[in-house]
Amino acid sequence: MKKIIVLFLVLVIFSAAGAFWGYHHILQFTDQPIKTKNDQLLHLERGTTGKKLANLLEQQQILENATLLPWLLKFQPHLNQIKAGVYRIDQVKTVGDLLNLLNSGKEAQFSVRFIEGETFKTWRKTLQNAPHLQQTLQDKTDQEIFNLLNLAHYGKTANLWKNLDGLLYPDTYSYTANSTDLTLLKRASERMQKTLSQAWEQRNKNLPLANPYEMLILASIVEKETALDSERGKVASVFINRLNKKMRLQTDPTVIYGMGDNYQGNISRKDLNEPTPYNTYIINGLPPTPIAMPSEKSIFAVANPEKTDYLYFVADGSGGHKFSQTLSEHNRAVQDYLRWYRSQKNGK
């Protein structure tokens, strides 16, 4: 009888020791190294169990053997609050690090950059090439997207043309996987509305502009005319001065915009005389819509332009412009530029 009791105690001790060793071994699994590649992503579907996660890690060769993972999650329930999503794991070193990431819900961030001065036609291509973004607008026309963004409040002109150029804020936008393209555009639209509203409230009240949309139109022209922050206020002043004097704006970017796909890099005299709603060599005042996505700096430059008597400007060959008050001064500046241009073309 004593032998049986001793044998039983020995078995209990060995079982307890084995259980302790197994439990300890399972806990140590959190220190197990994992294998990842550069920019590797892990996609977790909703309802992923410990067993499914273990299979996924083995399939993607992140772990050679993930058998202990379901047991680890049972013994450590605080690690079993895994959230669905797409995670960037290239900087993760151990199973414990991976589980902490999956429990945090900090999904991988992606980004798309919308550049100022570009048109919505170009932005649509950028949007379509954005990684891990749900494409819901591919079969939609610009007019349909205009309506989806609820932009009719911009007024009769914008509503009539349903033109998205100018109505979206250029910037770099971050997003998580499976966000939609429409959601990104709504963020850009709302930010532009806020910026335009602020600029309109802070504007010089003597501007010859009837509403915020007209400010947006002029800001898009300023954006296309100069890339120098130091010049935006001067360029804006030229157009404001011309509007006050009932002079035509006569700005090449509007002509180019009106030419559409017919523009091949050069403007001819025929193009300057070709009637389009955007040819400011022919029409009076502003074109009907913005011609590009203006930056915030261009919008505020129009809201409060520099006080000048300038009516003309032309490129000076150094990346900036020469500003003039009279036509004779302007013509001399044009001749200076043409001489510089010919010298550059001839390699002198």
Which residues form the domain of 276?
A: 203-311
In a domain, 155, yes or no: yes
Let me know if 79 is exposed, middle or buried by CB neighbors in 10 A (0-12, 13-18, 19+).
buried
Instruction: For residues 33 and 73, state if they share a domain.
Output: yes
Domain boundary, last residue among 147, 164, 198: 198
Measured CA to CA, the distance from residue 166 to residue 156 in angstroms comes to: 15
CATH code of the domain in which 331 resides: 3.30.160.60
User: 71 with 59, same domain?
Assistant: yes
The answer to the question of residue 13 being in a domain is no
Last residue of some domain: 198, 232, 263? 198
Sites in the chain below the pLDDT cut of 70: 1-25, 27, 154-161, 346-348
- Give the predicted TM-score (pTM) of the model: 0.83
Tens-place pLDDT, residues 320-343: 999 999 999 998 988 888 888 787
Tell me whether residue 196 is exposed, middle or buried, using C-beta atoms within 10 angstroms of its C-beta: 0 to 12, 13 to 18, 19 or more: buried
Residue 3 located in a structural domain:
no
- 252 is a domain residue: yes
Other beta carbons less than 10 A from residue 343's beta carbon: 11
pLDDT 10s digits, 122-143: 999 999 999 999 999 999 999 8
- Look at residue 14 in the predicted model and tell me its pLDDT: 42
